[in-house]
Amino acid sequence: MTEHDIIEGHLIVTQAKTQQPLRIVIAGKLAELVERIRARKATHKIVTGALLTNTNGKRLTAPVLRNHFDAARKAAVKAAPSLKEAIEGFHFYDLRAKAADDTSDLRGDQAASDLLGHDSVKTTQRHYLRRGKKVAPTK
């Protein structure tokens, strides 16, 4: 993602599979993150439109991000050996399911489906919503 993907307060994301564009409102923690990114990038001499940069201010590539993620996972296993299996089994893909579950809890299944760019709520429910519906006890 680049600075050019931010238009009128929205982060424009195009879904890889469906090519459907999504406009994510830059607000709350996302707005804070974008500001932190811009402040950090301002300290580098190299100018790039990329939002994610390395310590030298150059675009952070997917393979480098993968290497950092793997290193962080290994460090997490060292810090919490009892969770080794869960940590090693975690993948980026799992973040989509978590985002869908969190959004569904806050704003409903349709909002989760919209976030993931699905045409059908049933697709989201079938493949991503893992926690189940929240219900109140009978008494």
Summarised one tens digit per residue, pLDDT across range 84-134 is: 999 998 887 767 888 888 888 889 889 988 888 888 899 888 888 877 777
Q: Are 14 and 21 in contact (CB under 8 A)?
A: yes
| CA atoms of 128 and 120, how far apart (whole Å) | 12
Q: How far is CA 73 from CA 8, 52, 64, 65, in A?
A: 36, 19, 14, 12
- What confidence score (pLDDT) does residue 77 get? 95
- What confidence score (pLDDT) does residue 4 get? 93
Answer whether residue 18 shows pLDDT above 80. Answer: no
Residue with tokens 């406009």: 23
Q: Left if phi > 0, otherwise alpha if psi is -120 to 50, otherwise beta: which for 57?
A: left
Better-scored residue on pLDDT, 55 or 106: 106
Exposed, middle or buried: residue 118 (CB in 10 Å: 0-12, 13-18, 19+)?
A: buried
- Residue-wise pLDDT for 59-93, tens only, equals 999 899 899 999 999 999 999 999 999 999 888 77
